[in-house]
Structure 1
Amino acid sequence: MSAHHAKGPLHLQAAAGASGLLALLGLVMFALVHHHGTQTALEATQRLNLGLARYVVAHLEGGMVDRSGHPDGRRMTALAQQVMMINPAVEVYLLSTDGQVLAHALDGELPVDPIGRRVDMAPVQRLSTPALAAPRLPVLGDDPRRPGQRTIVSVAPVADAGTTTGYMYIVLHGQALRTVAGNLADSQALRELLLGLVLVTAMAAGVLALALRRLTRPLRQLAAELDAFRTEPGTPGSPRAQDELGVLRMAIAALQQRVGEQFARLEQADSQRRELISSISHDLRTPLSNIRGYVETVLLRGDGLAVETRAQHLRTALRHTDLLNRRVRDLFELSKLDAGRQTPRQDRFCLAELLQDVVQNYQLPARHQGVAIAMAANSLRQARVTADIAMIERVLQNLIDNALRFTAAGGQVTLVVTASGAQYAISVTDTGRGIPAEHLPHIFDRYWRAGPDEEMRAGTSSGLGLAIVKRILELHGSAVRVTSALAQGTRVEFALPLAA
């Protein structure tokens, strides 16, 4: 869309186009009327004077050409004066039988004397042969005085003893009449006619504009409503069309785009729904099966079980119940994060204090596992950041849970806060067994496990902890980076902006 560039409201464009067409038609009509008037005037003049040459020849006393074929100049001059006294607009010529100008009686100085010029004999034959049917007027003949121009003429043969010796050739639309016609072309009447044409066109344009404005009012209202629907508040850079059709075209395109986006969101939501159902089924099957197995064992064997064995089965079922509770909680938390129903608050807090509180909460479970957990001595103690403190605490908890899960007794988990430009970097480092390089791209995928040995650890992880970490940090505009070496440990790092 080349693109269509609107020039104004539709009714004004239509009125302007119609006015231009009316003006063009008016000019064409004016030209046709002018041409018709000219032709009518020529026909009338020629019809009135068609027998003038024949009348002149009939009243000649003696011939105009002597026996040697030379014209009688004195007689020609006298004849021309008599004719032009009757009609000053005519010009009298004497032609030979082959159309050559033999004589004339033109007044004044001539740029080029027409004597010797030849005229087209076809009009002469049509006008001078009585046997032919009356010609359709006007019949134009060559103007000897103005080569290349044609005008109305009156023609009659000049005979001597029954033999045609030449032709009387009278130009009816002579120089005098041309001068008058030229003056008329610049007359007041013609100017008034043109002015009237302009006024009529302007009035027609105004009437058309008003009529079209009224007719297109519903279209303009619809275009305005669609434009308001298309352009959302706060988007001044949105392109705007200048006519109603452009608005409709852009609104339709915007609606198509919006419908496409809505369909995409619906498909994404449906995909997330199916994935959630599959995830819940996957996530709940193992602990439920384990709980059912242990409870059935206790019920079926009853008093046949030793007291200690029964207590162990019940403790295991309780542990799986706790895991089931954690998995349900993690599932709903991750689903809310994915659906955008949770947005991070902008809390200003001391990062070192939060890390110290989290470390303190994990001292007892870490001691039971034989793992040391602490905040590094070189950490920045006054670091203040802007983030959602509850979400960042959840990130730290998940990272520490993961570190403790894969760190053997005698290992260590360390938390560090360092400055990194306009941000503070937070890292959680463990001395666990590490992660193979080929597994690093997948560790943030939900439910991903490295192998069968990890599956055997069911009951200690929901498989969603790192996925929740990644999603929370994405909402904060931060990325999580992982470095690891086998048998040496893993380091997970992310950054938060300094508090303003």
Structure 2
Amino acid sequence: MNHFFRRILLAVWLSITAAIVLALLVANLLLDSTWGSAEQDRQLVNFVAQEFATAMRQSPPQVPAQLINRDTLAFDRALQIYVIDLATGRDALARALPSTIGELVTQRDSAPALASTIDDPRLILPSADTPGFLIAGYSERFPLALLMTQRGSRPLLFGALLLVSVGVSFVLARFIVLPVRHLREAGHRVAAGDLTARVAHHVGNRQDDIALLARDFDAMTERIGRLLASQQRLMRDVSHELRSPLARLQALQSLARQRFTAGDQTHILDRMDGELERLDQLIEEILTFARLDAQEQISPRRTDLVDLIQTIIDDAAVEVGDDHKDLSYQGPERLLLEVDAGLLHRAIENVVRNALRFTPAGGGVRIVLVRLPAAVRLAVEDDGPGVPESAIGQLFDPFFQVDDSRSSAAGVGSGVGLAIARRAVQLHGGSIAAENRIPAGLRMVIDLPAGCASSPDDRGAAA
């Protein structure tokens, strides 16, 4: 990390130094082209003075208006030509006089007709003492330019620039590297098993790419923590669910070894077959859920959702038998979708079987299919007891049971069916939710994206 810091520091310092050197070179070129030489400045002042003197020698004397204007006298910041009325001591353009020019005006009686250049290189005073006027040139350089032109001050200037560039580079390099260092330390903590490591608070309100990386790292770590916790909970639940039928099988086997009549043994063997079948179904659903949980893509094909629902209704009606539970469908006669028929069949079947399981004898389950503008909605309503509001959000968690008495009354399920249904719907880009009905019962709603619909003619059928 220290090597990385040094590389960043060196890169930033070289960039800043190159920018400063380039700026100084450009400034020097611009100043040279703007100021010109002292001889050029002297010639310009002499030209204005001679033109002004020629005009004043006319009879009567005339102040040349073409010279008394800003375009002629104020060439640029580097050279200013002053035309001073000696009677008033004021400049023709009403500009404030530099101190050296002001002193020259007050001492005009002793000033020569044509003044020479003063030793100060900023002031150039070739002038002509015309009747009533004084012509003077003044050249002022910028402070930085003065510092650059003085030989003794150059080491001080470059030393100051070096200190500033190194200081700014150090601050910027630390600003860049410090969050990366926190990320590295957090990565080591996560690798050691500490999934509580977070780095977003180290970057504060920064909105750059490093801050986004830190927030993504925290989101990733939190997601990994949830997945590991879910996997651990899943293992505990699987162990519990598998242990129960195995324990019952052991008890039935122990009973079978005792002396019973042939009828008793047949009953025990039937129960053992039932437990084995339930155990096989549980293992199959666990494997299905694990496969779907890791699956990212589906294999869609054109499917008539109404035919799929009718197949589920026919199969469920046979299993309901003499329980006198009514299973009905309400919706269009045909609705084509681009879906994975096997996955969607499994999802809807699990929801319908769950509704039938908790619906008492004489009750009913209704399947309602509706084509909405933005979705295809399938609702399954039952006449069961419903669930507590606090448990609705957990209905689709693997192995979740609302309570033992409810499960016993309805026949114990595996607790994985609704989790499989949710994952299958999610793979289609849809959603599934549950809500209690009034006065009793549960309603499960599956929403599939409208993009799954493959035939525009279905819109009229769904109406």
Instruction: Report the TM-score, using the length of structure 1 for normalisation.
Output: 0.50
Output the CA distance in 2 between the equivalents of 1:357 and 1:418: 18
Structure-2 residue corresponding to 1:321: 276
Q: Give yes or no for the alignment of 1:312 onto 2:267.
A: yes
The answer to whether the 8 A contact 1:352-1:381 is kept is yes
Unaligned ranges ≥5, structure 1: 1-8, 35-109, 113-141, 151-169, 187-193, 199-248
Summarize the Cα distance change of 1:348–1:286 in structure 2 as closer, same or farther, 3 Å threshold.
same
What secondary structure is seen at the aligned counterpart in 2 of 1:359? helix
Structure-2 residue corresponding to 1:279: 237
Equivalent residue letter for 2:271: T
The answer to whether the 8 A contact 2:86-2:105 is kept is no
Equivalent residue letter for 1:344: I
Q: Give yes or no for the alignment of 1:290 onto 2:248.
A: yes
Measured against aligned partners, the alpha-carbon deviations of 1:135-160 in whole angstroms (never above 9, x if no partner) come to: xxxxxxx999945569xxxxxxxxxx
Structure-1 residue corresponding to 2:301: 347
Q: Deviation of residue 437 (structure 1)?
A: 5.3
Structure-1 residue corresponding to 2:97: none
Q: Deviation of residue 478 (structure 1)?
A: 2.6
Measured against aligned partners, the alpha-carbon deviations of 1:335-374 in whole angstroms (never above 9, x if no partner) come to: 34444x243343321111111111222232111x423454
Structure-2 residue corresponding to 1:400: 352
The answer to whether the 8 A contact 2:370-2:378 is kept is yes
Which has the greater radius of gyration? 1
Q: Quote the sequence identity (%).
A: 22
Q: Deviation of residue 181 (structure 1)?
A: 5.9
Structure-1 residue corresponding to 2:416: 464
Please list, as runs of the form range in 1=range in 2, the aligned pairs for 1:70-81 lying within 5 A after superposition.
none
Question: Which residue of the other structure, out of 435, 440, 445, is the alignment partner of 1:493?
Answer: 445
Output the CA distance in 2 between the equivalents of 1:326 and 1:371: 26
Summarize the Cα distance change of 1:270–1:432 in structure 2 as closer, same or farther, 3 Å threshold.
closer
Summarize the Cα distance change of 1:451–1:479 in structure 2 as closer, same or farther, 3 Å threshold.
closer
Question: Which residue of the other structure, out of 482, 491, 496, is the alignment partner of 2:435?
Answer: 482
Q: Give yes or no for the alignment of 1:178 onto 2:116.
A: yes
What secondary structure is seen at the aligned counterpart in 2 of 1:480? strand
State the Cα RMSD in Å.
4.5
Q: Deviation of residue 22 (structure 1)?
A: 5.3
Q: Deviation of residue 254 (structure 1)?
A: 5.4
Equivalent residue letter for 2:308: L
Output the CA distance in 2 between the equivalents of 1:258 and 1:143: 67
Summarize the Cα distance change of 1:268–1:374 in structure 2 as closer, same or farther, 3 Å threshold.
closer
Structure-2 residue corresponding to 1:428: 380
Q: Deviation of residue 494 (structure 1)?
A: 2.3
The answer to whether the 8 A contact 2:380-2:445 is kept is yes
Equivalent residue letter for 2:277: D
The answer to whether the 8 A contact 1:320-1:459 is kept is no
Structure-1 residue corresponding to 2:22: 19
What secondary structure is seen at the aligned counterpart in 1 of 2:333? coil
Summarize the Cα distance change of 1:276–1:143 in structure 2 as closer, same or farther, 3 Å threshold.
closer
Output the CA distance in 1 between the equivalents of 2:370 and 2:22: 77
Please list, as runs of the form range in 1=range in 2, the aligned pairs for 1:35-50 lying within 5 A after superposition.
none
Q: Deviation of residue 18 (structure 1)?
A: 0.7
Output the CA distance in 2 between the equivalents of 1:338 and 1:144: 90
Select the structure that is richer in helix.
Answer: 2
Count of paired positions: 301
Equivalent residue letter for 2:335: A
Output the CA distance in 2 between the equivalents of 1:479 and 1:433: 20
Summarize the Cα distance change of 1:175–1:446 in structure 2 as closer, same or farther, 3 Å threshold.
same
Q: Deviation of residue 269 (structure 1)?
A: 3.0
Structure-2 residue corresponding to 1:362: 316
The answer to whether the 8 A contact 2:378-2:447 is kept is yes
Q: Deviation of residue 16 (structure 1)?
A: 4.0
The answer to whether the 8 A contact 2:377-2:446 is kept is yes
Output the CA distance in 2 between the equivalents of 1:419 and 1:22: 72
What secondary structure is seen at the aligned counterpart in 2 of 1:479? strand
Q: Give yes or no for the alignment of 1:391 onto 2:327.
A: no
Instruction: Report the TM-score, using the length of structure 2 for normalisation.
Output: 0.53
Structure-2 residue corresponding to 1:454: 406
What secondary structure is seen at the aligned counterpart in 2 of 1:289? helix
Q: Deviation of residue 462 (structure 1)?
A: 0.6
What secondary structure is seen at the aligned counterpart in 2 of 1:427? strand
Measured against aligned partners, the alpha-carbon deviations of 1:112-132 in whole angstroms (never above 9, x if no partner) come to: 7xxxxxxxxxxxxxxxxxxxx
